[in-house]
Structure 1
Amino acid sequence: MPWKKVDLRRYERRLDNTEKLLKRVADLFTEYNREHWAVNVLARLQFGEFEEDQLIDALRIAWIQTRHHHPFIAATLRGDNHVYVVPDQREIDAWVSESFFVHKNETLQHFMRTARSAKYSSFHFFPASSEILMRTHHWQIDGMGAIHLLNRFLEIFSAAEALPTFGDEWRRLPPGHAEAAPLPTKLSDETQEAAQRMAQESPFGGKPSIGLEMTPREPGGTRCSMLVFDSVTLGTIVKSCKEAGFSVASAIHAAMIVATQEMAAKSHPTTNFTSVAFYDHRAHLQSPYNDPRAWPMGCWMLGLPFSLPHADFVTHARALQKIYKLPLALDQCAVLKYYDIYMEKLVEALGQPPPPDAPPLTQPQLSSLGVLDGKVQHSYSGKQPVSVEHIEPCLDQMTTATLVFQWSWRGRSFINVCSNENYYEGEYVEKYLARVRVNLLTGLKLKDSI
């Protein structure tokens, strides 16, 4: 699905199956003017010597330069097509007015709770807290890609280059995942059947799961609830995980599952925890797309379903370790031979009405981003130096499920639960996080008081 020139300055590409699935899920909430699964990454920054108006101008210029380097941020949709138009100056000005925002009288937290659907991916600056927020459509990027895009923006801001001339930037528009990998898109009957079986094992394909107790009502805004481990505790957790033979991500995910077992909604007619394991596939793409600095954009993640029966922490951690250590090279991972068709099957399943007795999806889903030091620098030295105090991913959540990001940064570990405020009370989510903490530490035979 390469980009094609369809007019003098206009280029289009069909959504691939992953992008199409993400767009179809987002479309379910069009009537609320909200964007389910909008990908957000925020950063709290320290800038050099700037007057506020000068800083805003510098950020605006860097946003324009970021479009020149990574033009997909300015792509729009026409049906199931991505659309990019090489802009003249009038169109650049119009795009900036619809994608660059300064919030002088609003907190980032309030914006996140009330954010609406938008035509473009966007940049937001909150002067009072010295925070920036990059908000992108999920059918354009995944969580790790958003981290790489933040890094590129900060590099570009620090360099303070002159405004670019647009014209050939369309050459840097990313292909779909199947082309970038590449993945097979035409299969035998046998692999078609394997793709269908895997789709049926996915929560998106109707596989039931235990989940948290929720209040059925109209969706509201996104709430993010955070659990933080300091450097001493994180060091102890890492050491204990190595001794036990599994990763920190596997341990945290196991603690999440045990906490879900403890707090499982009584209405769920199953004992298995069914979810999706997410993988960053960038390192396994063909050149040049395996360079995340040059190609941060693109929805190049893998999401493979798994289902685990009721068990204790260690049993879950060992099972998850096998899942997360799955080799992802095309010649080593049989699933990749039919992954694109699997995504197509999920799109088809999403278009079908759910069974009348199907419980809502309320299981927490983990997206582990790992160690982010190095992917985003602590500071950027250039004509406009900038230091990074904190980074945080967050996903707009309109469904009854919760999305949990896990990452470490500057020696601390973070677990961020993204949930919809109308489905889950804040105290309930805090209780869940407390149980995750207890199960993690006790499962690793550590004292809960550390």
Structure 2
Amino acid sequence: MLQHLSVKQNSTSRPLRNLETFFKVLADVGKPLRREHWTIHMTLHLAFPASVSDPTAYLRRAWQVLHYQHPALGAVTSQNNSTAYITVEKLDEDVWANNTFTVYPDYKGTEELFSCLYPTATATCYWLPTPSKLVIRSSHWRIDGVGMAMLSHDFMVALAAVLRLGHDASLDSLMPGLEHRHPLAPSLEELALAQSRFPKLPKGEENPILATGADNLVARFLRGVPSIGLPTRPNSEQSNPGASGCAVTHLDAVTTVKIRAACRNKNIKVTSAIHAAIIRVTSTFPQHPLSKSYAAFVPIDLRRALDITASSEVKTLSKVVGLYFSGLPVCVDSVLPGATNNTKTFEDVARDLDAVYGSDILQFWGPDHENTERIGLLDLVEPYVRRTTALFGAHIPEGFPPVQTPDLSTLGKVDMYLQKYYDAGEHENVEVIDFWLGTEMLNRSVQFHTWSWKDEFNLGACFNLSFYDNEFIIDVLNKVIDGLLVGCGISK
């Protein structure tokens, strides 16, 4: 194995790494408020065959199968002296389901549930029979957004098997071939180091080339600090975070096709166009005198990069439950309207973002001298995560405004992971009508998520209700969509 796993009679452990620790620390900040920053919620709107009068028992069993397939859903963390560990216990399927699967018959929608849930020790699953929606929820230190989209497919495969074979079928028959599975996949840093051409150094030492590359990335972000942001509720500066809210809008398939075609014609990525619209809407609001640029980190999924140069052992590892991404810095200047004669257009902003979203992950960075081989982003992961962790933990400089930068996270085409129909047997299917993903927010930033599903573009926003009104966020979403259509030259 790549990692040193501590295997006891009923549990398996490994040390938490930097990226996991970063998200765990953020989550723990909300403990006094019984909240947890960036907890991920994934919702599936399901339609069952007419022969299934009550799907609850099937859903409960599928949740047990999913844990059997991905034991890290039950992972917990602990501290031993100065080292934090992630641990999974031996599966007791009934105890797992009793503790983590809940039916809420009175909720009319997942938006209401989203604002009412509190932190849990492990991942959890909720069934809302009235709207026929299933919710899977997990701390962000355990799984990322793309991983959650991939997990939705695994859940549906398990559910289809339960519908075909019965909810009393054994776990082995429902999900065969898992007796040699890895209960805990290695961390991103460990996988990256195993593929690196740079030798591992003693603890506390850094390769000077990699250190320079990591410093270069952080400097790109700092160039735009303090970033422009969306205005929060008046007099909310001293407010404690409360419950989170969410809103989502979508465009029909015809309009989505037009947007994709317009972006191809302009030679920009759709994600860059969406992000550009968010930045330009943000720039129309009054800003702090020091805020003149947009600066943020955009998450980039690294699973494909990990597999391109990986050993056969790494390629066969399940990289669903875990953190396998990196946040790349973006800095876009000259975004404030009327501030200069060189205020950037929609296309200008989109092309700046394209330089980041279109980065070659395998040939990512090179020192400023000739005849030096370029370095992949995976090589920079460990020193870069170490610096960004310190950056987010630093105090805001005196005189700077609070951070309230709108962020964007993209899942791409969810259809790449999730099917519309799954074989339930007897010539019947269980249908996925809709998909949604959002995160609990405890800070003053709005987290946007974008994805396409069934050829329709979706844009969601998550925010803390102590700092933003639902009506304001809906208005911002509408303005972003208008800006996207105008920027792409598409009329409503």
TM superposition score normalised by structure 2: 0.84
Measure how far apart 1:428 and its partner are.
Answer: 1.5
Q: Is the 8 A contact 1:86 1:170 kept in 2?
A: no
RMSD (Å) for aligned C-alpha atoms: 2.3
Measure how far apart 1:196 and its partner are.
Answer: 3.8
Gap regions ≥5 residues in structure 2: 336-343, 365-373
Closer/same/farther in 2, CA of residues 315 and 299 from structure 1, 3 Å limit: same
Q: For 2:260, which of 238, 241, 253 is the aligned residue?
A: 238
Distance 1:194 1:328 in 2: 13
1:56 aligns with 2:56: yes
Measure how far apart 1:102 and its partner are.
Answer: 0.7
Closer/same/farther in 2, CA of residues 125 and 296 from structure 1, 3 Å limit: same
3-state SS, counterpart of residue 416 of structure 2? coil
Q: Is the 8 A contact 1:24 1:347 kept in 2?
A: no
Corresponding residue for residue 132 of structure 1: 134
Corresponding residue for residue 99 of structure 2: 98
- Note the alpha carbon deviations across 1:234-285, whole angstroms, 9 max, x for none: 111111111111111111111111111112x433512110011211111111
Distance 1:444 1:51 in 2: 46
Corresponding residue for residue 88 of structure 2: 84
Measure how far apart 1:438 and its partner are.
Answer: 2.0
Distance 2:106 2:258 in 1: 41
3-state SS, counterpart of residue 118 of structure 1? coil
Distance 2:4 2:97 in 1: 24
Q: For 1:158, which of 157, 160, 176 is the aligned residue?
A: 160
Aligned AA (2:299): F
- Note the alpha carbon deviations across 1:5-44, whole angstroms, 9 max, x for none: 2422221111111111111111111111111101111010
Greater CA deviation, 359-368 or 120-129? 359-368
3-state SS, counterpart of residue 424 of structure 2? coil
Q: Is the 8 A contact 1:206 1:354 kept in 2?
A: no
1:195 aligns with 2:214: yes
3-state SS, counterpart of residue 447 of structure 2? strand
Distance 1:396 1:415 in 2: 16
Corresponding residue for residue 175 of structure 1: 186
Q: Is the 8 A contact 2:27 2:139 kept in 1?
A: no
- Note the alpha carbon deviations across 1:177-222, whole angstroms, 9 max, x for none: 022334566432343244245335447x993200010132221222
1:341 aligns with 2:383: yes
Q: For 1:319, which of 339, 346, 352 is the aligned residue?
A: 352
Larger Rg: 2
1:213 aligns with 2:222: no
- 1:41-440 paired onto structure 2 within 5 Å: 41-48=42-49, 49-52=51-54, 55-79=55-79, 80-87=84-91, 91-106=92-107, 107-160=109-162, 162-164=169-171, 168=179, 171-181=182-192, 182=195, 186=201, 187-199=206-218, 201-202=220-221, 207-215=225-233, 216=236, 217-263=239-285, 265-267=286-288, 269-285=290-306, 286=310, 287=312, 289-290=314-315, 294-309=318-333, 310=335, 311-329=344-362, 333-383=375-425, 385-440=429-484
Aligned AA (1:64): Q
Measure how far apart 1:430 and its partner are.
Answer: 1.9
Distance 1:327 1:425 in 2: 39
3-state SS, counterpart of residue 45 of structure 1? strand
Aligned AA (1:86): K
Q: Is the 8 A contact 1:224 1:394 kept in 2?
A: yes
Aligned AA (1:174): A
3-state SS, counterpart of residue 449 of structure 2? strand
TM superposition score normalised by structure 1: 0.91
Q: Is the 8 A contact 1:330 1:337 kept in 2?
A: no
Greater CA deviation, 235-244 or 102-111? 102-111
3-state SS, counterpart of residue 246 of structure 2? strand
3-state SS, counterpart of residue 38 of structure 2? coil
Greater CA deviation, 164-173 or 254-263? 164-173
Q: Is the 8 A contact 1:69 1:169 kept in 2?
A: no
Closer/same/farther in 2, CA of residues 213 and 373 from structure 1, 3 Å limit: same
Corresponding residue for residue 340 of structure 2: none
Closer/same/farther in 2, CA of residues 343 and 300 from structure 1, 3 Å limit: same
Distance 2:43 2:385 in 1: 29
Aligned AA (1:240): A
Greater CA deviation, 187-196 or 338-347? 187-196
- Note the alpha carbon deviations across 1:159-186, whole angstroms, 9 max, x for none: 1253226995662421100223345664
Distance 1:375 1:419 in 2: 26
Greater CA deviation, 146-155 or 267-276? 267-276
Q: Is the 8 A contact 2:6 2:14 kept in 1?
A: no
Q: Is the 8 A contact 2:45 2:435 kept in 1?
A: yes
